Amino acid sequence: MISVIVITHGQFGQELLRTAQDIVGRQEAVAALSVTPEMGPENVTQALTETIDRMGSADGTLILVDMLGGTPCNTALLKTRNLSAEVVTGVNLYMVLSSFTHRDKMDVKTLAGKVAEDGKRAIVLAKDLLMKRLA
């Protein structure tokens, strides 16, 4: 099974994982790393290294980060350069749920694409969508 790591600024990732597990149930091989202002890049790298070592899966690791170009993303990209891992930016709740639902059915590259697509599809102007359906 592909492991899933969510790395975000602040506690956002921990809350995403907690909420997703409230919806679909407890998950194995998942972790959240919080990047705080007190942490330097070396601390983030160390935390990610320890998490990958602890949860590493022969099937690969999917890393979901909050934004392109931030410390979580840059650290994940550098650390996973030679690993069976994918990094997807813009994490939202639907992406976490999608990763839980599909991670035992796909390889890590395909899962990353599916999660990215599902995350994009979940972003809509809800009122406009409702008005189209009522018309």
Both tokens of 49, joined, read: 């290294």
State the pLDDT at residue 47: 96
Contact call for residues 118 and 95 (beta carbons, < 8 A): yes
**What is the average per-residue pLDDT within 9-37?**
97
**What is the average per-residue pLDDT within 6-15?**
97
pLDDT digits over 46-75, tens only?
999 999 999 878 899 999 999 999 999 999
State the pLDDT at residue 56: 73
State the pLDDT at residue 22: 98
**pLDDT band at residue 135 under the 50/70/90 scheme:** confident
pLDDT digits over 84-121, tens only?
999 999 999 999 999 999 999 999 999 999 999 999 99
State the pLDDT at residue 3: 97
DSSP assignment of 10-71 equals: TTHHHHHHHHHHHHH---SSEEEEEE-TT--HHHHHHHHHHHHHHH--TT-EEEEESSTTSH
